Structure 1
Amino acid sequence: MKKAWLWQALLGVGSTLFMIGALWWYQQREPQRLAAARQAALARQLDEAMTLYAENCAVCHGAQGEGLGATPALNRADLREANPDGLFKIISRGLYNTAMPAWGLDDGGPLSDYQITELVALIRYGDWQAVAERVAQRGRQPAAPFASQPDEGVLREVRALPQGEVLMLGLEVYARQCVACHGADGQGTSLAPALNTPAVRVKAPAEIERTVRYSVNGILMAPWQGVLSEDEIAAVVELLLRWDEMPGGAVPPPLAPAPVTEEMLALGERLYAQNCAVCHGVTGQGTRRAPALNVKSHLESTNDLALEQIITNGVPGTAMPAWGTRLTRQEIQAIVAYIRS
């Protein structure tokens, strides 16, 4: 009897010691297991988010989140530390009076809450070099923006003027960022007014600078604060004040529209279906996210070059992004031809 009791006691003590040891082992390993599980879940989120970014975001924010044109960069330290709820709200609902549309399903967008959460994780924890590789794999690398090139001979003449280096920089910035809307030599287009005029040259420098930096409500012009450097803004202001000193042909016009062919129309139809129909409708009838394109009065009052510029540079303050960072000029011309057809 005593022997049986002794074995039971030993068995009880052994079981207790085993349970204590198992609990200690579990307590030692559980934090590592949970951390590994969280890391694996985050890796899955980031992998899915990179594809979402390539398909939906790279066109405006760049392959590496560097920002394109007036669209801000996402690969910034301050965004990595930003409130995730705030980032979620911006992606889901968009930003009023900017080109950032609402991406959440509840606001007419194509992304679920979970997908938006994945994009928030990408902004906070993503490897932007890996993102760029995914963008390349998906064939979504942004192309060179629609721009002109100052004449080299003219630049040599400009260099000899007072503050010639500043004026040269102004011409280069204008050719890269402004010619699409304001036209060759600042003569204006159907999209934007002429800048090479006495009325502009008599304005106060501070007023011109303010317009360049922050734009003006109700117009297509994007604000360039944070996109252009301080030297570039100062150079553009100097150019606008002294454009009457520039030789003619300093900034040449864009190339003439390409002739329309059957192949061009087929390409335009395919590109429209892939990139435009989701917002403007399959037949251009418009949706909640974007206006109709098959409007006779609009097509009659807007020439091909103006349509090309709108597609290339987007429309600030709306959900229309700048497609010139994603499509080649030939592809944009094909879309214009298809819209016309």
Structure 2
Amino acid sequence: MDLQIALFLVQDGVINGAIYALLGMALVLAFTVTRVIFIPQGEFVAWGALTLAALQAGRLPGTVWLLVGGGAAVALAELAACWRARDARRLPAVLGWNVAYPLAVLAAARWVPLAGLPLAVQILFALAIVVPLGPMVWRLAFQPVAESPVLVLLIVAVAVHLALVGLGLLFFGAEGSRTPPFTEGGIELAGVPVPAQTLWVLGCSAALIAALSLLFGRTLYGKALRATAVNRVGARLMGIPASLAGSLCFALCALIGAFSGMLIAPITTIYYDTGFLIGLKGFVAAIIAGLSSYPAAAAGAVLVGLLESFSSFAASAYKEVIVFTLIIPVLVWRSLASRHVEED
């Protein structure tokens, strides 16, 4: 291996690490706020990329129908809750977000020629389709069992993952898709060509991490999420609804996942089940962080990306095994270094 090959591998590892960092931070967010190990995080990666590819090809993405169906299911659940509580004040908001909004998105997707619009508009519209699916997954699958032990929540997460993978196959088929790069061209760094899409991945990942930092540090909703992550019972006593925290948390997870998929879609072909493996590597980064620290998750993601890149060069057949084996020493070290307590 010479210096130029090493620089290529470092570039590839840093790009992958930037995506894994976003997913690792999303998994840490989901676990600290809701105690859910959000295994379906990877599905939003695939859905974001495939939805954007369908819009650019002039097709109606299947996620639109999932948005309409999920909204109807959430509306029925909320209507039943309002009926039991004899509370009709929430009905306009429930029907607006879960019925009117999905139907408006469906109408726009069917009748507006999105394929000819600028890329930024297509990305925003794809996010408008995919991101609301996160709160819907929370409301239908996790909110009814939100107070259950972590093991029960993990089993539910696995079931949701399997269901979403099947829906992805139904909506998008087994063929993969790629999207055009955001911009053409690139630069040369130390004799190594760096495509423009690589710069987009790094820049957008850094901007999204900075935006999340501002959200948690400067906004009321971000501080509510931080309070829920630190002490769920105390946050509830201070008037922060657990359902609102869960919905907002899953919306952020869906946003991070979908946008990450759009960033990597011009670099690699995305299939309906591609997100699972990418999400697992983000999970490795989150495990390195102990499912509790955002900076540690970002650092662990870069480590995972570099390890994967150099492993693919030295032993490509075993690169996945090498990456996932990283969990074992981390878990052993944390088990020896931490004090074991019984879960309340």
Do both share a fold (TM > 0.5)? Answer: no
Structure holding more helix per residue: 2
TM-score by length of 1: 0.24
The answer to which structure, 1 or 2, has the higher relative contact order (CA under 8 A, 6+ apart) is 2
The structure having more radius of gyration, on CA atoms, is 1
